[in-house]
């Protein structure tokens, strides 16, 4: 049986080495495509886990605070860092709607009525509204306390970094030096 298979393989590929090479390349290509799709799905899932669209406002603030704390503490001279972020609104979700305008058979403008219904989709066997846009809370202010908070160069670098990352003006950012009692409490 093995000899028959080997003979058939020689008949198919033995005469033309180009056919063998093209076939092997084809199988390798198919394998790589299948492997890359599996890896891509895992990557997208991990991104979605890091910033869930259904975060509460407090969870959103905590998420931003940890990210800003990580960035600021990486600035040379900043040292240990604590961050607090305040927001002025909550997260707002905008869902797709179907608007219908009903007009009665008369010339009066009062006979016009509007009706809107949310667009419902079935995702994972659950009916849910079609989410068009998520509007994150507006940042009201950022307080940063760090070891290097009294150094003007460090302050300028922190102002620039936080302002750029959060897209807020520097007037909404406060930077102070970490107190000596706070340093002793951590030891």
pLDDT tens profile 45-63? 444 444 555 678 888 899 9
Tell me if the pTM is above 0.85: no
Share of the chain above pLDDT 90, in %: 36
Rounded CA-CA distance 166/138 in Å is 10
What is the C-alpha to C-alpha distance for residues 168 and 15, in angstroms, rounded to an integer?
A: 70
Could you read off the pLDDT of 94-113 as tens digits, one per residue?
A: 888 887 776 666 555 566 67
Residue 25 confidence class, pLDDT cut points 50, 70, 90: confident
Other beta carbons less than 10 A from residue 72's beta carbon: 26
Vertex 144, ends 81 and 161: CA angle to 5°? 90
d(CA 161, CA 165): 6
Six token digits for residue 160: 């620039």
Specify the 3-state DSSP secondary structure of 61.
Answer: helix
Residue 34 — φ and ψ, nearest 5°? -65, -40
Q: How far apart are CA 74 and CA 146, in angstroms?
A: 11
Percentage of the chain modeled with pLDDT above 70: 68
């Amino acid at each position: 049986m093995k000899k028959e298979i080997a003979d058939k393989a020689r008949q198919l590929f033995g005469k033309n080495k180009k056919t063998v090479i093209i076939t092997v390349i084809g199988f390798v290509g198919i394998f790589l495509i299948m492997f890359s799709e599996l890896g891509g799905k895992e990557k997208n899932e991990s991104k979605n886990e890091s910033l869930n669209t259904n975060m509460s406002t407090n969870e959103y603030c905590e998420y931003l605070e940890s990210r800003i704390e990580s960035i600021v503490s990486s600035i040379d001279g900043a040292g240990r860092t604590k961050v607090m972020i305040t927001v002025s609104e909550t997260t707002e979700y905008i869902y797709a709607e179907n608007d219908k305008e009903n007009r009665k058979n008369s010339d009066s403008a009062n006979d016009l009525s509007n009706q809107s219904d949310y667009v419902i989709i079935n995702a994972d066997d659950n009916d849910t509204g079609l989410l068009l846009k998520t509007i994150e809370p507006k940042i009201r202010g950022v307080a940063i306390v760090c070891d290097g908070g009294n150094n003007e160069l460090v302050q300028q670098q922190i102002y620039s970094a936080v302002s750029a990352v959060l897209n807020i003006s520097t007037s909404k950012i406060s930077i102070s030096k970490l107190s000596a009692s706070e340093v002793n409490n951590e030891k």
